[in-house]
Every structure is written in C-alpha cells, then in structure tokens.
Amino acid sequence: MRLIINKVAIALSTFMAIIGIVFLGWILITLVSKGITSLTPYIFTHDLIDNGIRNLIWGQFVLSGLAAVIGIPIGIMAGIYLQEYGGHSKYSEFIRDLSDVMMSAPSIVIGTFIYAIIVVPMGHTNGWAGIAALCVMLLPIVVRTTDDMLSLVPIELREAGIAIGASKYHVTVNIILKAASSGIVTGLILAFARIVGETAPLLYTSGSSIYMETDLTQTFPSMTVSIYNLATMPDAKLVSLAWGAALVLTVVVLMLNILGRFMIKRSNN
C-alpha cells in the first residue's frame, strides 16, 4: 500500500511540475516574442520621453542600489547580533518572528506604509520614499539569511578562536563571517533580485518620471512602474515598448537568480 501511495505521489508531483514548467515556458515565449522586436540600440540611448528606456534603467537600479547600500549593512549587523549575541532570548526570538512576518508581508502594504509616513508629509512621490520601501522589503531577508548562515557555522570554530585568546569581535569578524560568507552573499544577491523587480511598493512611493532624474526628492523614474503604465496605453508603440522593458528586466532578474543559485551550489561543494 505504501508503495502505491508513493508512486501516486511521485506521479502527481511530476504532473504538477510539468504544468508549472509549461506555464512558465508559455510566459517566457510570449515575453520574448513580443519584447524582442522592441530591443533596438535606440531605446537604450533615449529616455521615456523619446520612446526609450534609458532613464527607466537608471532609475530602477538607483532605487534598488541605494536600498541595498542602506539595508544590507543594517541587516547583516542585525543578523550577527541575533546569532552571536542575542542567542535564543525572548527579545531575539521576537525579532526573528517579526522578520519572518515582514518577509511574508504583501509588498503593497509596505508601499502604503511608506506612502503614509514619507510621501504624504512631503506632498508628492519621490525617490527617497521608493528607496525606503525597497529597503524595508530587503531588510528582513538579509537579517534572516545572515542569522541562518551563521547558525550553520560549527561551534568548534568559535571555541577555537576563543581558545587562542581572540576577542568575541575578532572571532565573529575574522572567523565566523568568513566561514559563512558564501551563503550570506548568495542571500544578498537573491534579496537584491527580488527588490529589483518590485512594482507595488513603488506605485505609491517613487512613482515614475518620463525624464532622466537625479534629484531623489522628486518623482523618480522606475522601470517596473513605467511598464505597468505603458502596458495600459492605447498606443501600440508604447505597449510594445512596455514588452521590451519587461524583457530587459526579466533577463536582469533571471541573471541575478542564476548567479545566486550558482553560488549556492558552489558553497555546498
């Protein structure tokens, strides 16, 4: 009986996996077929005002990059504290639970929260609000990844460092972090890949501009929001441009995920 149940479970799992692959392939084929025609050198050298996506690429990576620059150090330090100093105290467990809740929170809720505390007081959408929203999304992922990777480091390494007279700080920085560096970096890449493709939190926070913008206190260009806006336009050329931008963004996110998976495989070997 158990063998029959096992075979049925394997068959169902295989069938569901095939369905998922078929739909994923369908999406990718549609995206490539509709977006490839728009990928010309022109769109990469002109801004949205001139039917290009140069300013959108700039804006998306500025927002994501600054969110990562701000969020990654805070998240890593928080993860180090939880694992190396907080242990399993009630306070540390509360932070871990809060981090898990934040990771599962809908991105639109985070965008609405940042809208209320930054956009409303300033009176308009702006780049800093978008950075804050992406940073809030990034933080719990980095915290949890750092905490989990440090927990995998054998206790013997900590004891060896202390045995030779090294301080807690030096053991943490020079031994434990180095041992867990591959896993932490992999988590950071996957976290960055997630926020690069986010749309919902930017709808209410950064908005999107058709011009090249460098002032983060103003409405800032965003590829994901612009794709959403262009896809609803009645002009076929603008819809085609949206497909092209979507293809570019998909390729970038796919490359980041592949890099993350490669590093996971490398760290396991």
- Count of H-run helices and E-run strands, the chain: 14, 0
Please give the Cα distance from 113 to 54 (Å, whole number). 29
Maximum Cα–Cα distance across the chain: 71
Q: 29 and 48: one domain?
A: no
211 — alpha (psi -120 to 50), left (phi > 0) or beta?
beta
Q: 83 and 3: one domain?
A: no
Q: Residue type at 179?
A: A
CATH code assigned at 169: 1.10.3720.10
Q: 149 and 169: one domain?
A: yes
Q: 17 and 115: one domain?
A: no
**Residue labelled with tokens 């800032």:** 220
Count of domains observed in the chain: 2
**Residue labelled with tokens 């871990």:** 96
Structure tokens at 15: 């069938």
Is residue 139 within 8 A of residue 73, CB to CB? The reply is no
- Provide the domain limits for residue 21: 1-38
Q: 90 and 32: one domain?
A: no
| pLDDT value at 128 more than 90 | yes
Q: 67 and 4: one domain?
A: no
DSSP code per residue over 213-261: ---TTS----HHHHHHHHHT-S-HHHHHHHHHHHHHHHHHHHHHHHHHH
Q: 55 and 158: one domain?
A: yes
pLDDT tens column, 13-47 = 999 999 989 998 898 898 888 888 888 888 898 88
Q: What percent of the chain has pLDDT over 90?
A: 22
| pLDDT value at 254 more than 80 | yes
What's the pLDDT band for 268 if we cut at 50, 70, 90? low
Q: 76 and 8: one domain?
A: no
Mean local confidence (pLDDT), 194-218:
87
Q: 240 and 259: one domain?
A: yes
* Three-class DSSP category at 199: coil
Higher pLDDT, 49 or 262: 49
**Residue labelled with tokens 């692959």:** 21
User: 238-253: string of b/e by CB count within 10 Å (b at 16+)?
Assistant: bbbbbbbbbbbbbebe
pTM (predicted TM-score): 0.85
Q: 25 and 68: one domain?
A: no
* C-alpha angle 73-74-79 in degrees, rounded to nearest 5: 100
pLDDT tens column, 63-110 = 999 999 999 999 999 988 888 887 778 888 888 888 888 888 888 888
Is residue 132 within 8 A of residue 118, CB to CB? The reply is yes
pLDDT tens column, 230-252 = 888 888 888 889 898 889 988 88
Q: 182 and 74: one domain?
A: yes
Please give the Cα distance from 57 to 62 (Å, whole number). 9
Q: If you compute the radius of gyration of the chain from its CA atoms, what whole number of angstroms results?
A: 22
Q: 159 and 90: one domain?
A: yes
**Residue labelled with tokens 């495989």:** 265
Burial environment of residue 62 by CB neighbours within 10 A (0 to 12, 13 to 18, 19 or more): buried
